[in-house]
C-alpha cells in the first residue's frame, strides 16, 4: 500500500481508501456480513482511511465502521459528514445547536471520542459564502470533538470558496475521466494551499468499470434508478451527470484504457492516482472481491503523456457537452 499526506492534517492515508455509501444503502441490496468481511480485508491490506456520512443508511455505515475498527481508533482514520439529515437550505441546519447534535450522533454511532475529519455534506454555495458554519466547526475542533474539518462539494466554484477558509483541511470532490474540470483550477489551488483532496465517485457510479450493458436495469432502491435525472439530489452524484444511456455509450469508447491494466476499473482509478494533487481515491464497495480488485489499481502502469492527451480530448469533445447540472 502507498500512503499520501492528507493535506495539512498530519495524517498519512492509504492512496486507495474506501467510501461506505454502498454498504450503508441506496445502491441496491446489501449484506452486512459481507460488508464487514470486506472492511476487514481492506484493513488487512493496509487501508487506514474510510469515508462515511450520517445519512448513509441512516447511520448504518457508521455503525458498520464502528464494528470493523473497534480498538483501532489510533490506526484507522474515519471521515464522516453532516447536514443532509436536515434541510440543507435552512440556516438552522448549520447552527451550533444542530451541528453539535449531528456531531454527537456520529460519535455515538462510530463509537469514538473524536471524529478525525468532519465534513459538511454538499451544502449550498450560499452557506459556504456566509461562513458561519466554519465558526461552529472551529469550536468543535477546539473542544476536541473533531480533529480536522473539510467540505464535500458538488462544484469547482464551491471548492474555491472553501479554499478561502484557512482552517479547511480537505475537500471531497467528484473527479474521474468523465469529470475532469477540477484539473483546471481547483486541484492546483488546493495543492498550493496544502488542502487534501478526497476523490469520490471515481468510477462514475460504475460506468467506468465497463461492466454495464445497454439493457442493465438497477433495482428501485438503487440511486442509479431513482436519481438518474437528479430527482432526489444533485444529478452529478449519479453517472457523473451523464445519464445511464449516454454514459454507457461513452464508457464503451474507453475500453482501450484497460489494455495492460487488467480492467477498466483499475485503469480509471490509476488515472486519478497519477495526479499529484490527490490525497486518496475513495471508491465504494460491497464485497471482498471489489475491495481486492480496487486495491490492485495501485500496481498497474500509469498513463503516458499521449494517453493523457487522448483522454483530455475525449473529455472536451465527447463528454463535457453532455454533463447535466452545475459542476
Kind of pairing between the strands at 3-5 and 12-14: antiparallel
Instruction: Quote the CA–CA distance of 121 and 77 in Å, as a whole number.
Output: 18
Question: What is the structure's pLDDT at 120?
Answer: 98
- Asked if the model's pLDDT at residue 324 lies above 90, the reply is yes
Question: What is the structure's pLDDT at 27?
Answer: 59
Helix axes 288-295, 32-44, angle to 10 degrees: 30
Q: What share of the chain is helix, strand, coil (3-state, %, to 5)?
A: 45, 15, 40
Which cell is 104 given? 454527537
- Asked if the model's pLDDT at residue 164 lies above 90, the reply is yes
- Asked if the model's pLDDT at residue 26 lies above 80, the reply is no
- Asked if the model's pLDDT at residue 163 lies above 70, the reply is yes
At residue 146, φ and ψ (nearest 5 deg) are -135, 145
- Chain segment 83-118, per-residue pLDDT in tens: 999 999 999 999 999 999 999 999 999 999 999 999
Proportion of the chain above pLDDT 90, given as a percent: 94
Q: 149 forms bridges with which residues in the sheet?
A: 118, 168
Q: Please compute the mean of the pLDDT values over residues 49-73 and round it to a whole number.
A: 96
- pTM reported for the whole predicted model: 0.95
Instruction: Quote the CA–CA distance of 26 and 223 in Å, as a whole number.
Output: 5
Considering 3, 56, 149, 327, which one is annotated as catalytic?
A: 56
If one counts every other C-beta atom within 10 angstroms of the C-beta of residue 252, the result is: 13
Place of cell 483546471: 184
- Asked if the model's pLDDT at residue 121 lies above 80, the reply is yes
Query: What are the boundaries of each domain within the chain?
Result: 3-203+273-302
Question: What is the structure's pLDDT at 25?
Answer: 73
Question: What is the structure's pLDDT at 30?
Answer: 80
Give the residue among 69, 78, 67, 55 at the shortest CA–CA distance from 6.
78
- List CB contacts of 9: < 8 A, sequence separation 6 or more: 116, 117, 147, 148, 169, 170, 196
- Chain segment 231-284, per-residue pLDDT in tens: 888 999 999 999 999 999 999 999 999 999 999 999 999 999 999 999 999 999
Proportion of the chain above pLDDT 70, given as a percent: 99
167-198 CB burial, b ≥16 within 10 A, e <16:
ebbbbbbbbbbbbbbbeeebbebbbeeebbbb
Question: What is the structure's pLDDT at 296?
Answer: 97
- Chain segment 133-143, per-residue pLDDT in tens: 999 999 999 99
Kind of pairing between the strands at 49-51 and 77-82: parallel
CATH of 3-203+273-302, one of 3.40.640.10, 3.20.20.100, 3.30.1050.10, 3.40.50.880: 3.20.20.100
- Asked if the model's pLDDT at residue 18 lies above 80, the reply is yes
Give the residue among 64, 82, 71 at the shortest CA–CA distance from 121.
82
Kind of pairing between the strands at 18-19 and 12-14: unpaired
Continuous H helices in 180-287: 186-192, 223-226, 244-252, 264-273
**Catalytic (active site) residue 94:** no
Amino acid at each position: 500500500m502507498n500512503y499520501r499526506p492528507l493535506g495539512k492534517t498530519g495524517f498519512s492515508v492509504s492512496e486507495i481508501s474506501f467510501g461506505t455509501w454502498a454498504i450503508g444503502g441506496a445502491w441496491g441490496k446489501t449484506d452486512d456480513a459481507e460488508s464487514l468481511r470486506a472492511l476487514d480485508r481492506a484493513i488487512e491490506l493496509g487501508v487506514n482511511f474510510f469515508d462515511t456520512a450520517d445519512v448513509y443508511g441512516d447511520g448504518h455505515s457508521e455503525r458498520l465502521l464502528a464494528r470493523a475498527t473497534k480498538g483501532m481508533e489510533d490506526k484507522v482514520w474515519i471521515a464522516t459528514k453532516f447536514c443532509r439529515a436536515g434541510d440543507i437550505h435552512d440556516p438552522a441546519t448549520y447552527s451550533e445547536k444542530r451541528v453539535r447534535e449531528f456531531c454527537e450522533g456520529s460519535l455515538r454511532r462510530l463509537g469514538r471520542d473524536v471524529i478525525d475529519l468532519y465534513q459538511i455534506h454538499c451544502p449550498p454555495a450560499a452557506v459556504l459564502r456566509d461562513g458561519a458554519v466554519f465558526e461552529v466547526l472551529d469550536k468543535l475542533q477546539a473542544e476536541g470533538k473533531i480533529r480536522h474539518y473539510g467540505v464535500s462539494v458538488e462544484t469547482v466554484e464551491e471548492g474555491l470558496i472553501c479554499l478561502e477558509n484557512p482552517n479547511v483541511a480537505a475537500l471531497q470532490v467528484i473527479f474521474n475521466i468523465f469529470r475532469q474540470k477540477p484539473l483546471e483550477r481547483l486541484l492546483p489551488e488546493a495543492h498550493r494551499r496544502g488542502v487534501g483532496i478526497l476523490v469520490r465517485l471515481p468510477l462514475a457510479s460504475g460506468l467506468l468499470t465497463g461492466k454495464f450493458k445497454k439493457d442493465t436495469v438497477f433495482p428501485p432502491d438503487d440511486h442509479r434508478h431513482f436519481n438518474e435525472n437528479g430527482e432526489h439530489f444533485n444529478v452529478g452524484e449519479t453517472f457523473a451527470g451523464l445519464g445511464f444511456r449516454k454514459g454507457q455509450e461513452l464508457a464503451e469508447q474507453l475500453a482501450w484504457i484497460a489494455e495492460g491494466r487488467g480492467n477498466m476499473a483499475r485503469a480509471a482509478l490509476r488515472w486519478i492516482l497519477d495526479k499529484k494533487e490527490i490525497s486518496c481515491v475513495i471508491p465504494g464497495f460491497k464485497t471482498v472481491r471489489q475491495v481486492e480488485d480496487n486495491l490492485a489499481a495501485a500496481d498497474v502502469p500509469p498513463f503516458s503523456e499521449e494517453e493523457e492527451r487522448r483522454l483530455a480530448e475525449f473529455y472536451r469533445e465527447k463528454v463535457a457537452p453532455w454533463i447535466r447540472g452545475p459542476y
